[in-house]
Structure 1
């Protein structure tokens, strides 16, 4: 065996890829197709106008095939700054914005500026598994913060976890995997806590475009000194169906972006030009289209909540953006339940164990349902299959008890 980085070798494998391996050797009929609610990614291409803009750039703009600025193209940075200033009610300048190869890279860059091996970062659980993977790979301890009512973390609980090694607190809102939307006062409380304790606050708003609240979810950018503490992350992938083009954003102080530039230059040099063209075209032209996309996601959210309320034994803990976080009624762990649901119910979802510390029993009791790619009919079919699976499981249990 060749030498391996022990931290990387000890990191768990990508959960979505693991779940896809459960499909190997299985076939699903046309009258009962697989219901795949495992991954939070659009399955349709971007609108035609956006695709045409990318095609035109590929054909007619030579610079679209060259390296660009490490921190992103000036026109896209300016557009993000202007929209953020309008939406959040506080001044954000182009010099506060970096464009990244997706929001995952934005997170990696943010963490690289605040922590190193041996440090600690507080993350609410259930956590987004890619965040946990990145911290594990770099020897940074992820400190789990249990959430309270409605799957919302509390600043007071986080304060009790801070040690001399703590460097940052990470929040994701709307949350992946729980769907929880964090109230503005909670986010403000975390900003105040981090500022008082000399920490960074990393707020991942990948799903901000699908927040159910009509107004801005917080006013953190209205704080004149936000740059001393706040790092915000964003993704164009969900808004404009650009997942394959990998375009995200990191918003922070100009001083922090000096450090971010070092990171980005060594891992990608620059974000892909064509994806940036698409993101900018989307920001300029797809406002009404995105509003309709949001309205549809909210309809699916309502359908998910309605269907879950009718399912015996299931308990919906959080529901928002693309996700439902649900407690299942079965005796077995979600780690074995999830692959069994593929075989016996034709449903692919992710077990809660993929989002929780190994020693936390809550992981075994929960599953994540990424419902955004299922229409209301598909969500009703999902509920019917899970309910039928439950009745069959109960019948099997009763039969074994009778045989005993």
Structure 2
């Protein structure tokens, strides 16, 4: 045991993806049955060659690419996101309402640091994104579980019953990680109205917005003239442009909120990566057609997942969208043991629902998350064959 140890950090669970990777230790996968890794929602392929060349040229020819930059990010990228988001959402966003961060996880931590401290409460729909829960635990903030209903959609009326004087924010992720659900615009509007009524912040993490199956804006929250009074938007460039290793995310919020965010970011990272920002800006300006092709491929994989899961006896799809399928499994084993057994018995690595649910909720033991973005349709067919071959 470490002495001393911050008790809030000591009681925070270990990173789930790293834990699952340890299940691979000592296991060999023959060439005829290689590992199918559907544990993590991150692109494994490099960015397109043109973007890699832009990064290389910046590294060679742009001295500023190796220096500190503004804490809230480079002006050009902030302005570009503001212009594109204003058009996409039909609202009015300015560059000084945008901050660039070292990935979307940092965006969440920075925003939450301005909103809640030890003893405060934040509503998280379940199943939740585990890193959101981990940051709240580390900060001494109570994550209040908001159970979801059909389609893994949260209910604003149920959320209203969970609000207390200690509540500071409601956090939503759409398209959802881990559930894949795409929240209807009117549902987000209802949560916005609830947050505004109670003087809370509504944080909507739209990391996977580029892979939403719907056309048009997913919500109208940016159309409000005073949208930044209670609404905070988070985004990641990592998925759209395959920039996971460069760590580039964004916050869209009020100028006053970002002034507080700046304190956090200056202390934690000083500034976001210059090469990552250069890459994100180049991608926004040059890769719209390429991203559209990536979206089409992800939607094809989603269709293959839905069709394949429908053929598996005893399996139930709870949600499917963006990079994820969230399912109930038929095994008598609890999901952690079942997931571990799949590594040896099927050559499949995925995450158990217990990693996304409160320990007190028995539903997690029946659930699994399948992150299918890195598996093509042929690989999905093989995944279904392996799962279907398991003994009942």
TM range, smaller chain: over 0.9
What residue number does 2:365 align with? 364
| Greater than 3 Å deviation, 4+ residue runs | none
Alignment of 1:253-402 (within 5 A): 253-389=254-390, 392=391, 394=392
Shift of residue 225, structure 1, vs aligned partner? 1.1
Shift of residue 259, structure 1, vs aligned partner? 0.2
Shift of residue 367, structure 1, vs aligned partner? 0.1
CA–CA distance in 2 between the matches of 1:32 and 1:204? 36
What residue number does 2:242 align with? 241
CA–CA distance in 1 between the matches of 2:271 and 2:358? 34
1:253-302: CA deviations, max 9, x gaps?
00100000000000000000000000000000000000000000000000
Q: Does 1:181 align with 2:182?
A: yes
Q: Does 1:19 align with 2:23?
A: no
Question: SS of the residue aligned with 2:373?
Answer: helix
TM-score, normalization by structure 1:
0.96
Could you tell me which runs of 5 or more consecutive residues in structure 1 were left unpaired when the two chains were aligned. 395-404
Q: What is the root-mean-square deviation of aligned Cα atoms in Å? A: 0.5
Question: SS of the residue aligned with 1:70?
Answer: coil
Q: Does 1:77 align with 2:78?
A: yes
What residue number does 1:118 align with? 119
CA–CA distance in 1 between the matches of 2:84 and 2:158? 33
What residue number does 1:64 align with? 65
What residue number does 2:163 align with? 162
Question: SS of the residue aligned with 2:99?
Answer: strand
Question: SS of the residue aligned with 2:202?
Answer: strand
Shift of residue 30, structure 1, vs aligned partner? 1.1
CA–CA distance in 1 between the matches of 2:329 and 2:113? 37
CA–CA distance in 1 between the matches of 2:127 and 2:138? 19
Question: SS of the residue aligned with 1:372?
Answer: coil
Shift of residue 371, structure 1, vs aligned partner? 0.5
What residue number does 2:11 align with? 10
CA–CA distance in 2 between the matches of 1:88 and 1:33? 43
Shift of residue 335, structure 1, vs aligned partner? 1.1
Shift of residue 31, structure 1, vs aligned partner? 1.0
CA–CA distance in 2 between the matches of 1:136 and 1:16? 18
The number of equivalent residue pairs is 391
What residue number does 2:31 align with? 30
CA–CA distance in 1 between the matches of 2:174 and 2:164? 24
What residue number does 1:402 align with? none
CA–CA distance in 1 between the matches of 2:154 and 2:148? 4
Question: SS of the residue aligned with 2:320?
Answer: strand
1:97-141: CA deviations, max 9, x gaps?
000000000000110111000000000000000000000001000
1:312-354: CA deviations, max 9, x gaps?
0000000000000000011111011101100111000000000
CA–CA distance in 2 between the matches of 1:114 and 1:106? 13
1:36-83: CA deviations, max 9, x gaps?
000000010001111111111110111110000000000000100000
Shift of residue 2, structure 1, vs aligned partner? 2.4
CA–CA distance in 2 between the matches of 1:332 and 1:24? 21
What residue number does 1:220 align with? 221
Alignment of 1:96-107 (within 5 A): 96-107=97-108
TM-score, normalization by structure 2:
0.99
